Structure 1
Amino acid sequence: MKKTAILTTVICSLLTAVSCSKDELDLQNPNALTTDQYWTTPDDAEKGVNSIYAMFYKDGLWARWLYFRLDLTSDEGFSKSPWVELADWTRFSYINYNFWEGNTVTWRDSYKAIFRANQVLAYVPEIEFSNAERKEQILGEARFFRALHYYYLGVLWENVPLVLEPSEPNDLPEQRTKEEVFAQVEKDLNEAFGALPPTWDASQTGRPTKGAVKAMLGKLYMQQHRWEEAKTALEYLVTGEGAIYSLVDNYEDNFTHLNENNAESVFEIQYGDQRKGGTGESADASVSTTRAQFFAPRGIGWSDGQARFWLVDAFKQEENTNGGIDERLRYTLFYPGLHEDFGDKVYGKDWEWDEDEAWFRKYQRDYYRENEDYFSEVNYRLIRYADILLRYAEVLNELGMTSDAYQYVDMVRERADMPPLAEAYPAIGNNREAFLNRLKTERVLELCGESMRWEDLKRWGDLDEQASVDEIAQRDPDFGNFDVGRDIRMPIPQVEVENNPNLEQNPGY
């Protein structure tokens, strides 16, 4: 199975030597290098930056639990897991703030990734390189990943410590506001842009590019309603120097291992199934994602995550240009009518489900196998061009350029054989609010199950007022538990609050 050099999971053993009270017993462990011993060569720098990529294979991030937060807690998904505490964390029933799988492990792994990025940024500048450009690229990669992880910390918890130097066990970092965290994300991304290339050669596929940086800046500015700056950032990918992306002909190609790192991919997490270990730091640690196992339908996987059935109905509200069902439904969801609608069997079998049940099909492997396991090799498209086009349309609409926004929505719709938006919904016209309301549905149809919806709901302000939350609850009953003003952010793990006097628990908890 082909995968790139990024899959090398490197563990930086940057442990300080342990000393006894007597000098003659001060022995140095040759297997535990100090920072002074390690960060000396360009190869050390390469291994150090690769260790940041290795965090994508950890439980708390994109290997497993982050999907529960971004997909299942939104109105797109839910959990009926028999593990009640796990299911509770997707329906705003937060009892144990230290719940590992729902909260603490994602906090831990986010800061582990940031710690690794901070080491690169602190120590690599002192290393002599014969290739100065590669040195700057390594620093740019570290800045990109520090920004990426702080972005999601800001989206999920908002008020978090901002650690910008290699941390020590006794550090008590101060809590910062979401605005301060996002300001650092912006700074890191802008610095990364100057250091990273527009593209990499094939041997380095999977590393962030200038396009990935501008995409993250666009996301950041949109969350802050800084529409002009978001427009400038996204223009780089749509009409500017970085307009090298395009939509692939086959929508399904965005969710299988058969056409990875294609023209639509702006940033893609590289996964492989060549190692069958756990998700720790051992030499045989997995470089896979377990999403498929946890989200697979009942009888195939754990079925801890399901899709809300209103999504199926949303796909069927409008016919395509051939008078049929939107083909994206076929590759987005499993549901009882899938065989009748498209002729597809689920993992090659007929299934009897309740008529209102659905599961996410994206990133499942039923297209070539009849079971799931913990070792899915399917790359995760964290940023793809279709999302960029819809974001750009949203930005233009917010800036009063609604008539200009249509073409970018139509590009996405055309790939799915859907008629132009103005033809299908002429009543929208240039009404900004009406266009945004339709765009909310367009984003669901294109991006459902791709970990976008939670930040979308926050950006649109749909979680800020009880009236809009009540509307969401009509399609997702879990939002009947949503406490406005509190649940828009997660509780900080209580152990962190208790051990650090500079942290306060988030409001309402």
Structure 2
Amino acid sequence: MNMYKYLLALVLGLSMVGCSDLEENALSELEPDERVVDLQTVQTTIAGAYANLTARAFLSRGLGLPLMLRSDMVAIGNPTTAAERIEHDQFTVSATNPLILNPSNPERSFWPRLYQMVRGANETLREVAVLEEQSPGVSEEIAGRARFIRAYAYYHLVRLFGDIPYLDEKISTAEASVAPRTPVETVYENIIADFEYAKEWLPDSRANRALPGKAAASAFLASVYLTRGEYQLAYNEATDIINKAGTYNLALEPDYRNIFHAENTNFSLEPIFVIDFVATNIDDESRDYLAAFTGFYGQATYYPSGGWSVLVPAQKVYDTWEDGDYRKDVCFDDEALDNSGNLIPFTAFSSLDGRNANRPHISKYTAMAGSLPQANTSGRDSESNYQLMRYAEVLLIAAEAAAELGNTAEADQWINMIRERARNGDGTGAPSAVPANISGATVDDVLEERRLELAFEHKRWYDIVRRKMGNEVFGPNGFEAELGTRNFDPSRDYLLPIPPLEITNNPNLTQNSGY
């Protein structure tokens, strides 16, 4: 995966306007059958597609900010932060929100970045078709990687925007520029087909989990089925992974903290698919920003320069989390060292800098940034691995599907495996009594376990959307009620706006309701 960061410069050299311009200048102005295509060419193209995962426009900043802030787990801490972020926190998003598409800097926006993944995958598949004619039998695994990243990008796009233009390797430049919005159902059919192909042709496991194997394709298939409410299919897919854990080389990591430790996570069997940052400031487009956004000014617990106090949990998120649950200790900083070595409680974080919120901050990203000197720039030059899919989530997918199907004993079993790990802490002391085992798990119980186990890992907003929980979680009894009114409108806010520039460029595009 490390090579992908250096290929990001190649990706950024491509046209970055949006889906209407996707097919132009994809790697050259020539189609694959008009130029030399060999195995190295194809490997470079697919590496360029995956390089988008480490871009600041994706989860480390551009898309990561909305996914965090639109959940009920995280709110704005620093009130002086950019308005484009506050809009997502308050559900006042304008159609021209630059995190979605900034015409002046499209490479820093997530709509074009997700379509860059699609374009790289499509270009790979076109090249693979040429390569297969020259060297039959060498292309299926590469095609599997291409179809995996295409499905992964579309899985984000369809959940964020609903109907979207679906472009595959057969779409020409002219067709792409006027492509209409494809119905959600059709998009999902294509996503499922891509993940199924990837599951067939990718290897059982990989030492480097920044590349997908069969388990990654299968796990995302299970997630797609869960999102669609196809619970038997989700159950079948997730339990197949559980039954093949040995084949796929998967297991729960004994120490929850190691999953988010920059070095130790590389030796864990829990990660299934990750983003691998490589501790270099080669360019600002491929830096890890979540450490900075979740850290706070003036603290030196991990590195001297601290962070920016932007993504901060509501106080109630911390207060309602049971003490004794090891995951709470891993997820939060409720005290910090200043640069003089003084221990500061969270109630006085603003004494370090007035922009800090006096609430416990997220430590999953600050603590795991790594110990190399390069990580000392607010954690942005880190060795972090973002967990895009891990084995615990597979267990929770299986548990939720089982609860929906009435198999409560199985749901209990998988939840309790995760809770036992939380009780055992780092394994050096007596187990905690918290969280206690569950019996008779309901769907609500599983959703609550997901909220805690997968806290701050970009999952909660998608859970709120698929379960249509917005009115409940952003209402007067929600975690963020103490921070003021959230302007959540269920007729509008489950989807984001289609960028107006795309509608201007493409007469066949329409806008989502409410924008």
3-state SS of 1:404 partner: helix
- Aligned pair 1:448/2:455, yes or no? yes
Q: 1:114 to 1:134 in 2, by over 3 A?
A: same
- Aligned pair 1:50/2:47, yes or no? yes
CA distance in 1, matches of 2:163, 2:111: 12
3-state SS of 1:485 partner: coil
CA distance in 1, matches of 2:490, 2:464: 13
Offset of residue 441 of structure 1:
2.4
Q: 1:303 to 1:134 in 2, by over 3 A?
A: farther
Q: 1:216 to 1:458 in 2, by over 3 A?
A: same
CA distance in 2, matches of 1:147, 1:472: 36
**Which residue in the other structure is 1:35 paired with?**
31
- Within the candidate set 132, 146, 161, 1:142 is matched to 146
- Post-superposition CA distance 1:42-73 (Å, at most 9, x none): 11010011011111122221232221121121
Q: TM-score, normalised by structure 2?
A: 0.82
CA distance in 1, matches of 2:475, 2:130: 55
CA distance in 2, matches of 1:5, 1:232: 36
Q: Is the 8 A contact 1:9 1:51 kept in 2?
A: yes
Offset of residue 424 of structure 1:
4.0
Q: 1:158 to 1:349 in 2, by over 3 A?
A: farther
**Which residue in the other structure is 2:256 paired with?**
251
Which deviates further from its counterpart, 47-56 or 98-107?
A: 98-107
- Aligned pair 1:226/2:222, yes or no? no
3-state SS of 2:199 partner: helix
CA distance in 1, matches of 2:186, 2:342: 51
Which deviates further from its counterpart, 221-230 or 269-278?
A: 269-278
Q: 1:492 to 1:383 in 2, by over 3 A?
A: same
**Which residue in the other structure is 1:19 paired with?**
none
CA distance in 1, matches of 2:363, 2:137: 42
Q: Is the 8 A contact 1:222 1:230 kept in 2?
A: yes
Q: 1:205 to 1:387 in 2, by over 3 A?
A: closer
Q: Is the 8 A contact 1:81 1:303 kept in 2?
A: no
**Which residue in the other structure is 2:21 paired with?**
none
Q: Is the 8 A contact 1:39 1:45 kept in 2?
A: no
- Within the candidate set 176, 179, 184, 1:178 is matched to 184
Q: How does 1:219-298 map to 2 (within 5 A)?
A: 219-240=223-244, 242=247, 244-261=249-266, 262-279=268-285, 286=286, 288-298=287-297
- Post-superposition CA distance 1:402-436 (Å, at most 9, x none): 1221010011000111799999477xx53x6xx22
**Which residue in the other structure is 1:77 paired with?**
74
CA distance in 2, matches of 1:423, 1:248: 17
Q: Is the 8 A contact 1:39 1:124 kept in 2?
A: no
Q: 1:68 to 1:160 in 2, by over 3 A?
A: same
| Aligned Cα root-mean-square deviation (Å) | 3.0
Q: How does 1:98-137 map to 2 (within 5 A)?
A: 98-104=96-102, 105-128=109-132, 132=136, 134-137=138-141
- Post-superposition CA distance 1:146-200 (Å, at most 9, x none): 0000000011111211111365377111102222221211111111111111113
Q: Is the 8 A contact 2:65 2:85 kept in 1?
A: no
Offset of residue 457 of structure 1:
1.2
Structure 1: runs of 5+ lacking an equivalent:
16-28, 280-285, 320-324, 340-344
3-state SS of 1:160 partner: coil
- Aligned pair 1:408/2:414, yes or no? yes
> Counterpart amino acid of 1:177?
P
CA distance in 2, matches of 1:103, 1:274: 26
Q: 1:151 to 1:424 in 2, by over 3 A?
A: same
Q: TM-score, normalised by structure 1?
A: 0.83
> Counterpart amino acid of 1:223?
T
Aligned residues: 462
CA distance in 1, matches of 2:100, 2:484: 16
CA distance in 2, matches of 1:171, 1:467: 40
Identity of aligned residues (%): 26
Q: 1:181 to 1:471 in 2, by over 3 A?
A: farther
CA distance in 1, matches of 2:484, 2:188: 29
3-state SS of 1:383 partner: strand
- Post-superposition CA distance 1:427-478 (Å, at most 9, x none): xx53x6xx22222222222111111101111222213xx4564256453456
- Within the candidate set 363, 366, 370, 1:364 is matched to 366
Which deviates further from its counterpart, 351-360 or 499-508?
A: 351-360
CA distance in 2, matches of 1:421, 1:161: 50
Q: 1:133 to 1:486 in 2, by over 3 A?
A: same
Q: Is the 8 A contact 2:151 2:194 kept in 1?
A: yes
CA distance in 2, matches of 1:190, 1:227: 17
- Within the candidate set 207, 213, 223, 2:211 is matched to 207
> Counterpart amino acid of 1:441?
E
- Post-superposition CA distance 1:213-265 (Å, at most 9, x none): 01100110001100011011111211237553111121111112112342000
CA distance in 2, matches of 1:315, 1:213: 32
3-state SS of 1:416 partner: helix
CA distance in 2, matches of 1:39, 1:67: 38
**Which residue in the other structure is 2:343 paired with?**
350
> Counterpart amino acid of 1:294?
F
Offset of residue 502 of structure 1:
1.0
Q: How does 1:301-340 map to 2 (within 5 A)?
A: 301-316=307-322, 325-335=324-334, 338=335
Q: 1:137 to 1:6 in 2, by over 3 A?
A: farther
Q: How does 1:184-195 map to 2 (within 5 A)?
A: 184-195=190-201
CA distance in 1, matches of 2:320, 2:54: 33
**Which residue in the other structure is 1:66 paired with?**
63
- Post-superposition CA distance 1:94-147 (Å, at most 9, x none): 23x222225551101011111111111122111148875541111000000000
3-state SS of 1:107 partner: helix
Offset of residue 315 of structure 1:
2.0
Q: 1:502 to 1:478 in 2, by over 3 A?
A: farther
Offset of residue 291 of structure 1:
1.5
- Within the candidate set 434, 439, 449, 2:446 is matched to 439
Offset of residue 352 of structure 1:
5.1
Q: 1:493 to 1:415 in 2, by over 3 A?
A: same
Q: 1:472 to 1:140 in 2, by over 3 A?
A: farther
Offset of residue 359 of structure 1:
1.7
Q: 1:99 to 1:508 in 2, by over 3 A?
A: closer
Q: 1:212 to 1:39 in 2, by over 3 A?
A: farther
